[in-house]
Amino acid sequence: MKLWQKETTVDALIETFTIGNDPDFDLQLARYDVQGTSAHIKMLTSIGLLTEAELQQLEAGLEAIAAVIEAGEFKIEPGVEDVHSQVELLLTRKLGEVGKKIHSGRSRNDQVLVDLRLFFRAEIREIASLLDALFATLLANSERYQGVLMPGYTHTQVAMVSSFGLWFGGYAEALVDDLALLQSVHKINNQNPLGSAAGYGSSFPLDRKLTTELLGFDDLAYNSINAQLGRGKTEQFISFALAGISSTLGKLAADIVLFSNENYRFLTLPDAFTTGSSIMPHKKNPDVFELIRGHCNLLQSLPAQVSMLNANLISGYHRDYQLLKQAIFPALANLKNCLRLTERSLQELRVSPDILADEKYRYLYTVEAVNERVLAGTPFREAYQQVGAQIEAGKFTYDGELHHTHEGSIGNLCLEEIRGKFERQLKGFGGGI
């Protein structure tokens, strides 16, 4: 069954190629197709295209389909093109002619747009919830280990004194910016395209504000052409948000892989979170974080993939857009898995308490020595040269205390301020988190 099928039979090879693996992704849209159809038929009833009796029949039919979907038993039958056709087919089988009325006033184009926007909204909110859990774990670790010192690095060389509190807290605050970008994408996505039909509206007196309210959208995508222009562009915005989160997550994973190395021994992963070697019995490999790093590197290429799919397309619908699902749907699943595994692993991560006791880290304190001289009245450039001369002569030592008091330093992590920033961003998602 195809919504557009007439008398001509499509060549089997062409049909297989054009459908591709779209039905597999469509299964993830099934509940949202039912949700969108439910709002649409209520609107059709309000403008007199369906009777109340027909609405009741259709609602009962959709509820039955929704139950099958939630039970994991919904399937797109052989010969049925997509989820939209399958839902309409099931209603028509059960209700006869009434089932054929649900497509009045909409095109498959705006039907797909609605399904995708509802799906993306749910996925974005789930990612925001996972970010919330990861943020809480990072901030808790920052507070727990705020007094445990570690080396800081620039150019991958020992630089200045840092702390695990500062390290965990840095990644926590990085998630604030990632969440802000995700929240802006949520706002862009949460506009109702239903009623734009094939991109040029409908001669039916559709009540698009009613479907906006019924589907919980913040607003309408008013102009019907603009609603269709959102296909591909919405996915592009989402790809930037996913890439941003992946950048933070991948760098954190890379740190953990390095810091758990035997030559560093800053961190220890529990045995249950590592894998072994087939030949070396001593190995405890950080495979989880290596794979998180790899997935996040691939996810950072997502904007390029989506941009290329959108390239050189004029306004209106194009079948190219079907391929966006192949890029975006697995990316959403991969990022969610990475967030879950990172949050779970960080709960069990063990920190080494006396790293800086090793003699090789004595030069971490050179800046402290320079600053002490400056505070005592020596000009900075002169103090810098004095400490530099001690280093060159192999005579540098430091036995002073650390005095870091400014906002965001190892002595003043500003954890409550960072928590407040994150919570303000969360509120931008409404009550859906």
Known catalytic residues? 155, 277
Nearest residue to 160 (alpha-carbon basis) of 432, 402, 433, 426: 402
Candidates 166, 218, 215; CA nearest to 194 is 215
Q: Is 88 within 8 Å of 103 (Cβ atoms)? A: yes
Read off φ and ψ for residue 266, nearest 5 degrees.
Answer: -75, -35
- CA separation, residue 257 to residues 35, 215, 286 (Å): 44, 44, 6
The residues, ordered by sequence, that sit 6+ positions from 257 with a Cβ below 8 Å of its Cβ are 286, 289, 290, 293
In sequence order, which residues have a C-beta less than 8 Å from that of residue 352 and are 6 or more positions away?
A: 265, 266, 267, 268
CA 325, CA 303: separation in Å to the nearest integer?
A: 13
Distance CA 332, CA 120 (A): 9
Q: Residue 44: which of 240, 208, 236, 223 has the closest Cα?
A: 208
Q: Report the relative pairing of strands 267-268 and 350-351 from DSSP bridges.
A: antiparallel
Evaluated on CA atoms 114, 120, 121, 122, the torsion sign reads positive
- Residue type at 197 in one-letter notation: A
Amino acid at 356: L
Q: How many CA atoms lie within 13 A of 109 on its CB side?
A: 25
Instruction: Give the Cα separation of 350 and 260 in Å (integer).
Output: 10
Task: Return the closest-CA partner of residue 371 out of 146, 152, 160, 150.
Answer: 160
